[in-house]
Structure 1
Amino acid sequence: MSQLIQQLRKHLPEHQVITDDLRRLAYGTDASFYRLTPQVVAVIESEAELQAVLKAAHQTSTPVTFRAAGTSLSGQAITDGILALIGEGFATYELNADASKVKVGPGIIGGEVNRRLAPFGKKIGPDPASIGAAKIGGIAANNASGMCCGTAQNSYRTLAGMRVVLADGCCLDTEDHLSVDAFSKSHAVLLGELERLGRDTRNNAKLAERIRHKFKIKNTTGYSLNALIDYEDPIDILSHLMIGSEGTLGFISRITYHTVVEDPHKASALVFFPDIRTACEAVIRLKPQPVSAVELLDRPALHSVENKPGLPAIMRELGEEAAALLIEVRAATADGISEKIAAVHAAMAGIATVEPMQFSTDPATCEMYWKVRKGTFPAVGAMRRTGTTVLIEDVAFHIENLADATLDLQALLRHHGYHEGIIFGHALEGNLHFVITQDFGDASEVDRYARFMDDLCHLVVDKYDGSLKAEHGTGRNMAPFVEMEWGKDAADLMRHIKRLFDPENRLNPGVILNNNPHAHLENLKPMPAAEDIVDRCIECGFCEPLCPSHRLTLSPRQRITSIRELARRTAAGEPAGSVGEDYAYMGLDTCAGCGLCSTACPVGIDTGDLTRRLRGRRLGDTARSVNAWTGQHFGTLANTSRLGLKIGHAVSGVLGDNFLGRISGGAWKKNMPTAGKAPVARITQGDPVVYFPTCGGRIFGPASAAEQQLGDVILELLTRAGYAPILPEGFDSLCCGQMLASKGMAEEAEAMSDMLESALMKASQNGKYPVIMDASTCTVRMQKHLAGRIRLYDFHEFAHDALLPRLMISKQPGPVALHVNCSVKKTGSDAKLKVLLAACVDHIIEPAGVTCCGFAGDRGFVVPELNQHALRKIHDELPPTCACGVSTNRTCEIGLTAETGRTYRSIAYLLEECSRKESAVTC
């Protein structure tokens, strides 16, 4: 064991010191096109643990890089030293009394902060496109901006205070006068030098003017030298230098933001122009107007999305020189919106447009417009050739140069053969993003990229004096070009600042400042073809916040990274080694396969599909035969499972749930449901409807023998509402096949679906009658399988559409917890579920910290740690007064009940109780 690992394990719990090859590779990947594998990943949950990591780094002369979410695009979150991975202990949040300031830790996601601020009509200023995945640590350390924040509301401008840990382990809280006093004594030399640097810079008229000029537009190239001219107090200088320093000067352990107003009224217009120059003339006119965002799209960008469903037909008819602006205005009132729209129209008078500009306040229309803008990057990523990397870079120009610069940039892309390249960006700030695809596995292609980068830098710097990095951070990609952009005096000033804070060059070396002129061409990430399902992945990490196994084992991005590495080893004739061995558990066994990752993925990848494919490949002949037999004799399996539950309850009655849980490896749960049974058909009068009770509700009964079976509850509800329910013939021996599909046995699962289809077609008289199923996962599977041949409803959908209008509901006070399972989220039917629940109860609690519950069919029994990890945050969000919860999947409800100690049941129970003549909800 190395000295470094020994030092870390003295101060950090063993599970926080990660040394296996698989996770060092997977956790060390960020969204950039660079690859370094850390020696060790140290998960830090507190400042004390961070200080221990810094001490170990010093004692062993090892570099250390801080890492939040790793959505960084320029290689600033990777290392071959210690990767200090920010844990959930840093996901802190504190709002002041009037919501004017919010204190947040570096481990909380930016979108989560905004979700909590929304009830107060506030948000944080920075609004990067990655805000749904990016954490505050990265947002602040990169001075990330976005579509609306511009230069006025980024982290630098909205900073109210900061807590920072320096390379020597010392901590400074700029909002605590005692901390400031102590720091002023212990670090008097540092503060004195910062004060001198600020004074000298302000007195150097040429340099001061250079800095002011550079920060008139978006600029994240190098350090925030504007701190030296904007502030005189060395504490203020220090804290503002930290913004955008990319972890090279210290660790931001907490930041306080001034919040900004989130206006409730919005209107958007997608305006098409005959050419780029005309569009840019419009931008200059719009700059002084009360607009919140103006997004520019060139013709190739529009081409990349023009065939997407629902987008304006005119996009396909535009000329090849055309361009578009997406304009948004926001206001506190509807009248305010009208005034701002009028101001925009007045400003645009005389500007040639392809068709008249028209604003919309309809949320669906506005969302469609923004899909045009947001869909461009993933569209290029999805269409790229397998084995290539998708690159998104961002530069900025002064707005008066925007038209010429955009045309020059288009010409430069064509000159270097990047014919797929597209350009879009935040036009009000002169900020352009361009997207290209690049093969880094070919030396000639790397040489092409090198020539392009050289020409790009000369274009941006020499011709237009713009920013080589506007908002994505300097990173490794532009570090060799910092002096080219800023000049020697400013670059030397940056080097001096780095030495002041980090004399050993221990913190994230090679990032922001790098003397190697070829650093941007080294340590390039391989992107070999692996599996067609996931080859389009751009490794952005947007999927990670939704994944139930993230930080337990692997996230979707990390699974794909690992599979790519295994593919690379296979192609090179190298053994899979421990990466392959560990992937069986970390990649396959603990993947819930829920597919929520696809809802956040820019290119729509469902990593669960990959997992199911790989699970199927590893099945031996015996396992495959057993599973196939199960599919053909499902009725026998159901009866055997019920018997097992009865025996389990008999044993637990003597030895207790805890004992049985231990000897079963966690498969036996606390509050395990009773054995289920199939409902009995009833003869009633009314409108015919087919009801198929799914196997989860038939095998797993209610929490106690005193309660009705789920199937009986639904039959009672249907009858009460005037329907005549029909049970399919032989239903207790049928299953949709989901259980086999999740194991990777697609053909066998399809055979089970075919048998169920035959029964449903017969019972519904070939689709004459609607069909209801009572488990969302099974419903979604059969909806895809039947492809519209039958009107098939999940129970909550049918209850919303057909039962609510026919039932008399006695609303209850609550509270009742709601778990929206993965299938409901993916199909978008959660709105109906919430309306149905709101009809039954006043107080609803939907824990925001839970995405997928992690039970995933049988995963909760086989790898119970997945269920426990997925629900780790739910406990803090359920008050003691909340005794029960509802969902729409029986196995999800088992896991939720076991982990929370609250009884979770199908929403059918609540609806039945609330629609009785004398209703009383019993949780």
Structure 2
Amino acid sequence: MNATHPAHIQRRAIPAGFIEALRERFGDRLSTAAAVREHHGRDESPYAAMPPDAVVYATSTEEVAWVAAHCHRHHVPLIPYGVGSSLEGHLLAVQGGVSLDLSGMNHIVAVHAEDFTATVQAGVTRKQLNDHIRDTGLFFPIDPGADASLGGMAATRASGTNAVRYGTMRENVVSLKVVTADGRIIDTAGRARKSSAGYDLTRVFVGSEGTLGIITEVTVRLYPQPEAISAAICNFPDLRSAVQSVIEVIQMGVPVARVEFMDTAAVRATNAYSKLTLKESPLLLFEFHGSPSGVREQAETVQEIARANGGEDFAWAEHPEDRNRLWTARHNAYFAGLQLRPGCRSSTTDVCVPISRLAECVTETAAELDQASFPYTIVGHVGDGNFHVLMLLDPDNPAEFAESEALNRRLVERAIRMQGTCTGEHGVGLHKMPFMEMEFGRDALDLMAALKRAFDPHNILNPGKIIPSGPATEHAA
């Protein structure tokens, strides 16, 4: 199984002496070993590996700037690499070049608890940050499931289970330190809560997937740890009843912290993988944050709405160890799903629609998937209209992959028709690139391409991603 866009799969020649100059600068932190290159040319997407020509392990912003300037000078592609957990082919070296591994940039620069901010290097993971600040009474809420790096999360505009209450990386990045394509180092903002000075460069780089600059430091918002936390599971007779309950909860303005959906197949897989005994029917997993009385009031309102839609009484998980077990199981739903078909490769896609269209979008999607020749699961951060489909494919069966791509296309068309988006969380990478014009129109894409040319005139930064190929994005060497 190999999803490719041939127009982009054309490796650039590496100039003589280029790799040797990298080796002289970085020594054993430069690798051209096949296994290392293969590792950095593969993610969790359905694509075959597309390895870089070399991998550099950077430890400072200044080293990143040196590599960028060197690549810019010689027109060599440069792809930032965090922990490799992306799902849409973001970090594949489609034109070869250098993979810049930022995992060694894992220092927490500063915590300003009194201002509710923390500044970290790009390789710091969300779990590392939360472990570091636990004793301050604060936490960082963005939780995409994987223990992703903060730099990668900013680059892909990540969100996750807490987004319904705390927002996404877009709302929670205060400022960035970025290395430009030609090796300059810039700060996009200070730490003030607001500013009306100039263009909002922070938001330009958040979600740019390494195509406009390389994020080396991130300043993020922190939040007080809730006084009380409670989680509950509610099973439903069918998918529509569960999703309709979410719609009504959100429209009522109940400030739930998390509300996650799992279809029957996802619950079955989770039970087997995480050794749980959840009832195997569509379910919602809620978490409530606040004061004890506030949490109780939220839960009562939500349970009343759920019952009106055929939901069962809540099964509570009030002890921290029980909550952690449930959320760990939910985060492992991807790996659990893979076990439904041993030896399979997944094609995982997501869309996001206005909350009022969510039930319609999910049920139409499930009806189509029920006719597929392969198993699937649906899970979702449905509190913000975002859901994910995991299609479990035989890697030796091209027909299944073609079928999954057709289903994915119809899903995206459905979401855009409902005024949604082709990706609410995964990002564009390679896999969602064909849908960008459908969502934005040609004029908007041309403007994005002009921005790309201005920031990266030689098209070295993660080339062949986000914007479809064409005259506006051809290599300007």
What TM-score, normalized to structure 2? Answer: 0.87
Q: Is the 8 A contact 1:295 1:327 kept in 2?
A: yes
The equivalent residue for 1:492 is 446
Q: Secondary structure at the match of 1:172?
A: strand
Cα distance change of structure 1 residues 339 and 417 upon mapping to structure 2, 3 Å threshold = same
Q: Does 1:398 align with 2:414?
A: no
Please state how far the C-alpha of 1:430 moved relative to its aligned partner.
Answer: 1.0
**CA distance, structure 1, for counterparts of residue 273 and residue 401 of structure 2:** 33
**CA distance, structure 2, for counterparts of residue 231 and residue 416 of structure 1:** 50
Please state how far the C-alpha of 1:106 moved relative to its aligned partner.
Answer: 0.1
Amino acid at match of 1:370: W
**CA distance, structure 2, for counterparts of residue 498 and residue 151 of structure 1:** 32
Q: Is the 8 A contact 1:64 1:506 kept in 2?
A: yes
Taking only aligned residues, the RMSD between alpha carbons, in angstroms, comes to: 2.5
Q: Does 1:335 align with 2:293?
A: yes
Q: Secondary structure at the match of 2:357?
A: helix
User: Which residue, out of 458, 461, 465, partners 2:413?
Assistant: 458
Q: Does 1:13 align with 2:26?
A: yes
Deviations 1:399-456 (A, max 9, x none): 11111111111122233323x1111111111111111112344333333233233322
User: Which residue, out of 363, 366, 381, partners 2:323?
Assistant: 366
Deviations 1:680-714 (A, max 9, x none): xxxxxxxxxxxxxxxxxxxxxxxxxxxxxxxxxxx
Deviations 1:522-568 (A, max 9, x none): xxxxxxxxxxxxxxxxxxxxxxxxxxxxxxxxxxxxxxxxxxxxxxx
**CA distance, structure 1, for counterparts of residue 171 and residue 248 of structure 2:** 25
The equivalent residue for 2:5 is none
User: Which residue, out of 107, 113, 126, partners 1:110?
Assistant: 126
Q: Is the 8 A contact 2:412 2:421 kept in 1?
A: no
Q: Secondary structure at the match of 1:41?
A: strand
Cα distance change of structure 1 residues 97 and 8 upon mapping to structure 2, 3 Å threshold = same
Q: Is the 8 A contact 2:162 2:258 kept in 1?
A: yes
Amino acid at match of 1:140: A
Cα distance change of structure 1 residues 338 and 447 upon mapping to structure 2, 3 Å threshold = closer
Q: Is the 8 A contact 2:259 2:287 kept in 1?
A: yes
Cα distance change of structure 1 residues 443 and 308 upon mapping to structure 2, 3 Å threshold = closer
Please state how far the C-alpha of 1:66 moved relative to its aligned partner.
Answer: 0.7
Cα distance change of structure 1 residues 40 and 358 upon mapping to structure 2, 3 Å threshold = closer
Q: Is the 8 A contact 1:310 1:368 kept in 2?
A: no
Amino acid at match of 2:340: M
Q: Secondary structure at the match of 2:370?
A: helix
Q: Secondary structure at the match of 2:339?
A: helix
**CA distance, structure 1, for counterparts of residue 449 and residue 276 of structure 2:** 49
**CA distance, structure 1, for counterparts of residue 247 and residue 294 of structure 2:** 22
Deviations 1:700-734 (A, max 9, x none): xxxxxxxxxxxxxxxxxxxxxxxxxxxxxxxxxxx
The equivalent residue for 2:430 is 476
The equivalent residue for 1:22 is 35
Q: Does 1:378 align with 2:343?
A: no
Q: Does 1:72 align with 2:86?
A: yes
User: Which residue, out of 445, 460, 467, partners 1:506?
Assistant: 460
Amino acid at match of 2:323: C
Q: Secondary structure at the match of 1:13?
A: helix
User: Which residue, out of 442, 446, 455, partners 2:397?
Assistant: 442
Q: Does 1:284 align with 2:247?
A: yes
**CA distance, structure 1, for counterparts of residue 296 and residue 259 of structure 2:** 18
Q: Secondary structure at the match of 2:164?
A: coil
Indicate the structure with greater strand content: 2
The equivalent residue for 1:748 is none
Q: Does 1:271 align with 2:230?
A: no
Q: Does 1:300 align with 2:262?
A: no
Amino acid at match of 1:413: L
Deviations 1:274-306 (A, max 9, x none): 122221221122111021111111222223234
**CA distance, structure 1, for counterparts of residue 323 and residue 387 of structure 2:** 22
**CA distance, structure 1, for counterparts of residue 165 and residue 435 of structure 2:** 22
**CA distance, structure 2, for counterparts of residue 8 and residue 372 of structure 1:** 43
Cα distance change of structure 1 residues 277 and 87 upon mapping to structure 2, 3 Å threshold = closer
Please state how far the C-alpha of 1:309 moved relative to its aligned partner.
Answer: 7.6
Q: Secondary structure at the match of 1:150?
A: helix
**Higher RCO (CA 8 Å, separation ≥ 6 residues):** 2
Cα distance change of structure 1 residues 310 and 137 upon mapping to structure 2, 3 Å threshold = closer
**CA distance, structure 1, for counterparts of residue 212 and residue 204 of structure 2:** 8
The equivalent residue for 2:145 is 129
Please state how far the C-alpha of 1:2 moved relative to its aligned partner.
Answer: 3.5
**CA distance, structure 2, for counterparts of residue 238 and residue 478 of structure 1:** 24
Identity %: 27
Q: Is the 8 A contact 2:378 2:390 kept in 1?
A: yes
User: Which residue, out of 45, 50, 72, partners 1:32?
Assistant: 45
The equivalent residue for 2:109 is 93
Cα distance change of structure 1 residues 384 and 238 upon mapping to structure 2, 3 Å threshold = same
The equivalent residue for 2:388 is 433
Q: Is the 8 A contact 2:269 2:340 kept in 1?
A: no
Deviations 1:233-289 (A, max 9, x none): 434x21211001110000111111121222142111111111222212211221110
1:535-684 matched pairs, under 5 angstroms:
none
The equivalent residue for 1:82 is 98
Please state how far the C-alpha of 1:231 moved relative to its aligned partner.
Answer: 8.3
Cα distance change of structure 1 residues 245 and 435 upon mapping to structure 2, 3 Å threshold = same
Q: Secondary structure at the match of 1:107?
A: coil
Please state how far the C-alpha of 1:151 moved relative to its aligned partner.
Answer: 7.6
**CA distance, structure 1, for counterparts of residue 40 and residue 440 of structure 2:** 34
Q: Is the 8 A contact 2:352 2:420 kept in 1?
A: yes
Cα distance change of structure 1 residues 307 and 124 upon mapping to structure 2, 3 Å threshold = closer
The equivalent residue for 2:314 is 357
Q: Is the 8 A contact 1:341 1:359 kept in 2?
A: no
Per mean C-alpha deviation after superposition, the further-off stretch among 121-130 and 501-510 is 121-130
What TM-score, normalized to structure 1? Answer: 0.46
Q: Secondary structure at the match of 2:50?
A: coil
Q: Does 1:234 align with 2:247?
A: no
Please state how far the C-alpha of 1:338 moved relative to its aligned partner.
Answer: 2.2
The equivalent residue for 2:283 is 324
**CA distance, structure 2, for counterparts of residue 467 and residue 268 of structure 1:** 29
Q: Is the 8 A contact 1:46 1:90 kept in 2?
A: no
Deviations 1:659-686 (A, max 9, x none): xxxxxxxxxxxxxxxxxxxxxxxxxxxx
Q: Is the 8 A contact 2:349 2:389 kept in 1?
A: yes
**CA distance, structure 2, for counterparts of residue 309 and residue 139 of structure 1:** 26
User: Which residue, out of 347, 354, 365, partners 1:409?
Assistant: 365
**CA distance, structure 2, for counterparts of residue 233 and residue 309 of structure 1:** 50
For structure 1, the 5+ residue unaligned runs are 178-229, 317-321, 517-923
User: Which residue, out of 130, 147, 169, partners 1:155?
Assistant: 169
For structure 2, the 5+ residue unaligned runs are 1-14, 471-477
The equivalent residue for 2:220 is 257
Count of aligned positions = 449
Amino acid at match of 2:203: H
Indicate the structure with greater helix content: 1
Q: Secondary structure at the match of 2:246?
A: helix
Q: Is the 8 A contact 1:125 1:154 kept in 2?
A: no
Q: Is the 8 A contact 1:114 1:124 kept in 2?
A: yes
Please state how far the C-alpha of 1:114 moved relative to its aligned partner.
Answer: 0.9
Amino acid at match of 1:270: I
Please state how far the C-alpha of 1:164 moved relative to its aligned partner.
Answer: 1.2
